[in-house]
Structure 1
Amino acid sequence: MQRYEKARSYVYSRYSKIYNDTIHERAFTHTSSVDNFMTLLAISRSLPIEIAKIAALFHDYATFAHNCPSKDHARLSSLHAYHYLSETQEFSTNEIDEICYAIAQHSKKSEFSDDPLAEALKDADVFAEFVEEPHTKFDPVRSKRLLKAGRDLAG
């Protein structure tokens, strides 16, 4: 988990420089929530925990660190993760590809894929959104994801 700790320090150090109080708080709380739910889903779905948690850390990076428009944030967050992970020289090409693919796909909640990490990241993101705003009415796809993630966590 040493690579995770380094990535977490990197991401959170960038978030600590956000001057807008609302965005600053949301960056930390949402990223932390997704990270925590991703940990639980990774355990329940037998995914590599460190890889899953790193994907969670970077999933909304462009939104928070660069104030990126919502429609582009997954792709740009994925690119930023790619650069960070490559520069550290601590990750295999396969690990980098797996993390970046999951990040790039996480906004496509209505699309279901055969990629377990991408699906877990989508589900963790939805679960975090629900916990952060429990009175929000979710569309049928998000509701389905929320129920599936809940069942997986319940064992």
Structure 2
Amino acid sequence: MNRYETVKAYVYEQYARIANESLRIAAITHTSMVDTCITLLAITRSIPLERAKIAALFHDYAQYIDNCKHSEHARLSSLYAHQYLAQTKNYKVIEIDDICFAIAQHSRKDQFDSPLCECLKDADILARFLEDPTKPLTGIRKQRLIDSLADIND
């Protein structure tokens, strides 16, 4: 998990530089919550923990660093993650591809992808729920939350 700690330090260092205080707080709070949620889900689902936690760290990166349009944040976050992970030379291509694919797909909650993708999608929904349990969930998001809680409970 040393590689994870290095990525975590990098991401949070970048977030600390965000000038807009409310955006900086949102970045740190949401990323931390998704990281916590994905830990529970990855262990429960036998997903490689380090990959899952790294995907969680980068999943909304562009949204917070660039304050980009929400419709673009998953793709751009994936590109940032790919650039960073490749530059470190600490990851195999298959690891980078798995992590970046999950990040790129995490906003597509209505479709099913790789196990890591599904874990990240569900961790994102669970984190949003825990951040504001009064916000109503419907359809696939509600079902994902119910299934995630059942997985954790098993």
TM-score between the two structures when normalised by the length of structure 1: 0.98
- Find the counterpart in structure 2 of residue 135 from structure 1: 134
Runs of 4+ in 1 over 2 A off after TM superposition: none
Aligned residues between the structures? 154
- Find the counterpart in structure 1 of residue 118 from structure 2: 119
- Find the counterpart in structure 2 of residue 8 from structure 1: 8
Task: Kindly provide the CA deviation profile for residues 97-148 of structure 1, in whole angstroms up to 9, marking residues without a partner as x.
Answer: 00000000000011122x1000000000000000001100112110000001
Q: How do 1:66-105 residues align onto structure 2 when only pairs under 5 Å count?
A: 66-105=66-105
Q: Measure how far apart 1:78 and its partner are.
A: 0.1
> What do you get for the CA RMSD once the two structures are aligned?
0.5
Task: Kindly provide the CA deviation profile for residues 66-88 of structure 1, in whole angstroms up to 9, marking residues without a partner as x.
Answer: 11110000000000000000000
Q: Which runs of 5+ in 1 are unaligned?
A: none
Question: Matched residues in 2 for 1:66 and 1:14: separation?
Answer: 11
- Find the counterpart in structure 1 of residue 153 from structure 2: 154
Question: Matched residues in 1 for 2:81 and 2:152: separation?
Answer: 27
- Counterpart AA for 2:142: S
Percent identity, aligned pairs only? 51
- Find the counterpart in structure 2 of residue 38 from structure 1: 38
Q: Which runs of 5+ in 2 are unaligned?
A: none
